[in-house]
Structure 1
Amino acid sequence: MSQPASPSRQPVRAATAAFIGTMIEWYDFYIYATAAALVFGELYFPSHDPFLSTMASFGTFAVGFFARPFGGLVFGHLGDRIGRKKALMTTLMMMGAATVCIGLLPDYASAGILAPVLLVLLRVVQGIAVGGEWGGAVLMAGEHAPQGRRTFFASFAQLGSPAGLILSLVAFRAVTSMDHAAFLSWGWRLPFLASAVLLIVGIVIRLGVNESPEFAQVQRAQRTAKLPIAEVLRSAFGLVLLGIGANTIGIAGVYFTNTFMIAYTTQYVGVTRSMILDCLFAVAIIQFLVQPMAAWLAERMGGARFLKCAALAAMISPYPMFVLVQRGEPAAMVIGIALAVVCMASFYSVIAGFVSGVFPARIRYSAISLAYQVCGALAGGLTPLAGAWLAHRFAGQWWPLAVFYTCLAGVSLVSIAALDARRQKHAEMAETAGAAN
């Protein structure tokens, strides 16, 4: 068994473990998203109408998002009561087991109605696992960070998302080059089965990280909350609502530019599956490079100011994106999607550290998990469905989709402004109270 590293090495070790762990979790989540766009409709929800099959497939994708708040509540409670590390080890094992089982699942032609039922149940397990994972990974990285570096270190948990996306795209790009019949028969299962290897790697790395020092301090002072979620709802409900709104474009934008865009470009623009996967792979690499630079820049600009600028840029970004995507040329599609993704990814990289700093350590896991996962259920789970409906309803017109994306970014901009105003007000009140004493 791995031994924890020395205290001086723990910040880097914790950030690395957060990155690797979330990369594995998001790889598992994204391969499901890619399979939902490419094969699940045909294999598990066969229909005479491809639109209905696609909507049913995206429906199971949404189910995972609606399970995420439950995972956030359960593991947020455990993380605030018994520790971040134990909660994270459990979520990682749950996600890996569910993903491997999906890779072994018979399709509708073999098992009938039992096949989609089991697929939905395994998707629920995935949703619960990733719902508990995110908050713990952000806190393990951020709470281990040196003084004044929370934003940058917490961003490593966010960096796992594009890394997981890159891995998932590589995996599916490899298997989509197979003969179509072989791909539908067994090729699509290989990315899911490969998760077993990643699971072992993730467990080994996380064993070497100490418990969060901030949580350990709360434990030593015997100040752990008996029922964290009740305290969150009683004392910080307004902040949670603003946290939900603040996360919107960081979550919805990922599934708009990746999951929905696969279905949109293959069905309405006429590009091949392999072409859009290649384009998204190039964009994912850009996202991976942009996120740490954005976190570094945010530390110098100030988190709130940076997030406002990123959200405003995200509101503008879908219009040039769709103009370029409609051309159906690889270079134009990469540039167009990258414009939107750079804005969204810059926001996503910084939002975790900003929101986690709003709540006290004793209820922080529960609070940020509730905010993020409720937002995930609404903004993430429904975005591909809403996009598919708008594309079908306004066939041949891209502007309703662009307006929809602008509205998502606008919700984040307003929420960040409100959070920043409340934070400044509380800081002024504390300063006034200190001067009076």
Structure 2
Amino acid sequence: MNHALHPDDREQHRKARKAGIASFIGTTIEWYDFYIYGLAAALVFGKVFFPADMDPGVATLLSFATLWSGFIARPLGGIIFGHLGDRIGRKTTLVITLIMMGLATTGIGLLPTYAQIGVWAPVALVFLRVIQGIAVGGEWGGAILIASESAPKGKGILYAAFAQQGSPTGNLLATLAFFALSSLPMPDFLQWGWRVPFLLSAMLVIIGMVIRLTLEESADMQRLMREKKTAKLPILEVLRKHWLVVLLGAGTLPVIHVTYFKSTFALSWATKTLGYSQSTFLSIIVIALIVQFISQPIGALLTIRIDMRKAVAIMVLPEFILMPAMFFAVETNVYWIAAVGMCLATIPHAMFYGAIGGILARAFPTRVRYSGLSLAYQLCSLLVGGGTPLLAQWILNSTGSIVGVAIASALYAVVSLVCTLALLRITGHRASELSTAERDNGDPDAEAEPRRDARIGQTNPA
């Protein structure tokens, strides 16, 4: 059954679609920049930015340590840009993060090697990686909010999924860039080939800036600024009033970081230990990323249609088995078994990732939402994200077996499931209803609209 939309509703839907598409394009560029570092860390940084006579396993471990430095910096970015986003608006903040990311990524592509400047090479690499981390630490929360806060009432989780699609798309572009260069002779790849994906970032950032500058500030943020109700020190308010939600929010996210098990770590393990060629395993990752892109929005659709607790259980429980099984599938050295194993392991955490941004956005009131959302996400990134390939490589170096890595990957899913269910118990578990934080926003029109949209959604699901 179709419903004719009022002109005001049509305009809101137009703005919401524009915000969603702009968020998708912006996060695609940001994640492309972030993910090419992870691929380069697995394939080349150990050889280029550390001494040539260093043990390869140790060089890879140190390369993954530089990767982690970006994750360590991400909470700082979340605090800085969360403050700005809650004070001066989402749009301006997102423009700044995009410029920072583009400059840092292009700079990495121009860095001299260890053979040229010695220890200053890894020092400069870590510095630029930290800038990347600060930028992406402020990007994710803003992109989620510019999409979800512009959405029709009751559809925030669905529109937040636009921004989430930037992650697999950016990862896919990064992987395709390295896949295209994998046919180069190794000396050429080590000398200049690996730099090409980093230098391409400059062009992508220009495209992103043109799109991002046309964005409108979200209606929720416009209202706060108009009424002069923005928080003076959002991070302090978050820590004082919403610290439990921040901790639970961080605890929901380990399962999304299993992507670093299957891309960064698995790429290094498969090519250096199992004998896969670089191009072969990159092609498997490409297939899995296409599966992620397709399956990820299904998680958001499922979450807005049924009790969110059931949706989360449906999405996360299969990961207990499928992620550990992926490692044993890769270990067979049979291409199609490895590809199927990686694709199956991708679907649960991809669906969860499609929904969790919108779930977390509902958990905080508008005036501190950017700070709270960014702090929760980046706290998990600090403790789990960047340390994932490092942990996996250490387990492999210590035991010589992939079993411990498989067990660790399953534990990520356990933590995420428990914390997400606990969070939903506090914030509410139906997408068609206002969350606890949304009821505290002080918007006099907020109570009726979601219920009206919820009734429409029951007749004609969006």
TM-score in terms of structure 1 length: 0.94
Q: Does 1:257 pair with 2:262?
A: yes
Q: Distance between the aligned counterparts of 1:154 and 1:8, measured in 2?
A: 14
Contact 2:297 2:354 in 1 (8 A): yes
Which of these residues, 300, 319, 340, is aligned with residue 295 of structure 1? 300
- Partner residue of 2:74? 68
Q: Distance between the aligned counterparts of 2:30 and 2:208, measured in 1?
A: 9
Which of these residues, 105, 110, 113, is aligned with residue 107 of structure 1? 113
Deviations 1:358-396 (A, max 9, x none): 11000000001000001011110110000001111221x
Q: Distance between the aligned counterparts of 1:423 and 1:99, measured in 2?
A: 38
Q: Does 1:347 pair with 2:342?
A: no
Which residue type is aligned with residue 190 of structure 1? V
Which of these residues, 117, 142, 166, is aligned with residue 136 of structure 1? 142
Q: Size of the alignment, in residue pairs?
A: 423
Which residue type is aligned with residue 75 of structure 2? P
Paired-residue identity, %: 46
Alignment of 1:153-192 (within 5 A): 153-192=159-198
Alignment of 1:4-403 (within 5 A): 8-46=13-51, 47-250=53-256, 252-395=257-400, 397-403=401-407
Q: Does 1:421 pair with 2:407?
A: no
Contact 2:260 2:385 in 1 (8 A): yes
Report the CA distance between 1:48 and its aligned residue: 2.8
SS of match in other structure, 2:246:
helix
Report the CA distance between 1:7 and its aligned residue: 5.2
Shifted more, 73-82 versus 343-352: the winner is: 343-352
SS of match in other structure, 2:231:
coil
Which structure's residues are more often helix, by fraction?
Answer: 1
Shifted more, 265-274 versus 116-125: the winner is: 265-274
Which residue type is aligned with residue 278 of structure 2? R
Report the CA distance between 1:399 and its aligned residue: 2.0
SS of match in other structure, 1:269:
coil
Shifted more, 263-272 versus 59-68: the winner is: 263-272
SS of match in other structure, 2:165:
helix
Q: Distance between the aligned counterparts of 1:424 and 1:211, measured in 2?
A: 27
Contact 2:298 2:354 in 1 (8 A): no
Q: Distance between the aligned counterparts of 2:104 and 2:329, measured in 1?
A: 38
Contact 2:299 2:315 in 1 (8 A): no
Contact 2:324 2:410 in 1 (8 A): no
Structure 2 unmatched ranges of 5 or more: 1-9, 430-434, 440-446, 448-462
Report the CA distance between 1:297 and its aligned residue: 2.1
Deviations 1:302-337 (A, max 9, x none): 333212221212122123212311111221111111
Which residue type is aligned with residue 339 of structure 1? L
Q: Distance between the aligned counterparts of 1:203 and 1:303, measured in 2?
A: 35
Q: Distance between the aligned counterparts of 1:294 and 1:124, measured in 2?
A: 32
In the superposition, relative to structure 1, how do residues 187 and 346 fare at CA in structure 2: closer, same or farther (>3 Å)?
same
Contact 1:94 1:125 in 2 (8 A): yes
Q: Distance between the aligned counterparts of 1:285 and 1:300, measured in 2?
A: 25
Report the CA distance between 1:114 and its aligned residue: 1.3
Q: Distance between the aligned counterparts of 1:48 and 1:126, measured in 2?
A: 27
Deviations 1:55-102 (A, max 9, x none): 110000000000000000000000000000000000000000110111
Shifted more, 170-179 versus 304-313: the winner is: 304-313
How big is the alpha-carbon RMSD for the aligned residues of Structure 1 and Structure 2? Answer: 1.6
Q: Distance between the aligned counterparts of 1:43 and 1:18, measured in 2?
A: 34
Contact 2:13 2:151 in 1 (8 A): no
